[in-house]
Amino acid sequence: MAKIFCIANQKGGVGKTTTTVNLAAALAQIGQRVLMVDLDPQGNATMGSGLDKRALAASVYDVLLESSAVAEAAVIPDRLSQTGAGYAVLGANRELAGAEVELVSEERRERRLRQALTQVDENYDFILIDCPPALSILTLNGLCAAQGVIVPMQCEYFALEGLADLTNTIRQVHARLNPDLRLIGLLRVMFDPRITLQQQVSDQLKAHYGRKVFDAVIPRNVRLAEAPSYGLPGVVFDPAARGSHAFIDFAREMVERGLSE
Ligand code: ADP
Ligand code: MG
């Protein structure tokens, strides 16, 4: 059975997509079978994995509206399969923005993704879901389908406050919709140890959340930011980059934690 995790944070631009595609590639590189689901109509995770979002034969939109199965809609991008870090992608594009409205009158609308993923559950070790910012019916589909949430966060002044909102959301979804859901961990991203404030916030995080803070830390690294314009995860684009090493460490940590549970 696959471990299904959402990469979520209600803030935009915090590193959700970068975390999702690089963790997917890093897990694949260390031998895990991975499906990445793009739940953001911006389709950045789709493009960043080397798929043209405008040319998808079927997307997560079709899966949510039950006109396509995951096994039909998910593809391994050619460029990735050549690298040894191949993972399957269930892509998204702007069409997905319409799903919000189209699902309003449907029954069990927040459980569509969960339902669909049960059919491919055995084919993967990890299913990673890139969530859009804000709590929408799309994000709810992600949270209903997952066993856990991975929260990428920058160690900034308001980080702890934002985290309280998110843990509250997780608690509510846990209580009402998905009793399996829990906070897996907090991933410090775009980290710069030379900045005293970041060091302080990082210490506060560890004091409050203890083991929930991943040991791996993702540094601010320009190679990770450049990679999407080449349609590749940083881990594949420049395996030697500091950021890529950090994601491989993170993937190992994820596998180790999974085994010890
Ligand atoms: P989100 O999905 O939360 O909106 P993204 O992953 O798209 O966030 O990241 C926002 C921006 O920050 C992007 O331009 C991305 O390339 C950049 N970025 C993300 N992580 C890093 C990092 N570790 N180092 C440098 N730039 C990063
Ligand atoms: Mg994103």
Q: What is the pLDDT of residues 188-218, one digit of tens each?
A: 999 998 999 999 999 999 999 999 999 999 9
Of 18-22, 62-66, 159-163, 199-203, the one with minimum mean pLDDT is 159-163
- 84-113 tens-digit pLDDT: 889 999 999 999 999 988 988 888 899 999
User: What's the rounded mean pLDDT across residues 136-148?
Assistant: 96
261 pLDDT above the threshold of 70: no
Q: Which two tokens stand for residue 201?
A: 């916030």
Domains and CATH numbers, the chain: 3-260 (3.40.50.300)
Residue 113, token pair as written in the block: 């993704």
CB burial string 202-239: b at 16+ within 10 A, e below = beebeeebeeebbebbbbbbebbeebbeebbbbbbbbb
The amino acid at residue 240 is A
Q: Given 3-state DSSP classes, what are the helix, strand and coil percentages for the chain, each rounded to the nearest 5? A: 50, 15, 35
pLDDT in tens, 44-78: 999 999 999 999 999 999 999 999 999 999 999 99
When computed from its CA atoms, the radius of gyration of the chain, rounded to whole angstroms, is 17
Say how many Å lie between the CA of residue 119 and the centre of ligand 1. Answer: 32
**Number of C-beta neighbours around residue 176 at 10 A:** 10
**What is the H or E stretch that residue 138 is in?**
helix 137-145
For the Cβ of 223 lying below 6 angstroms from any atom of ligand 1, the answer is no
Q: Is ligand 1 within 6 A of the CB of residue 202? A: no
Which structure tokens are listed for 259?
């085994």
Question: Which ligand is nearest to the Cα of residue 92, counting in written order?
Answer: 2
- What's residue 82's pLDDT? 87
Whole-prediction pTM: 0.97
Residue nearest to atom 16 of ligand 1 (CA): 225
The Å distance, Cα 110 to ligand 2 centre, comes to 20
Distance CA 137, CA 246 (A): 32
For residue 3, list its beta bridge partners: 126
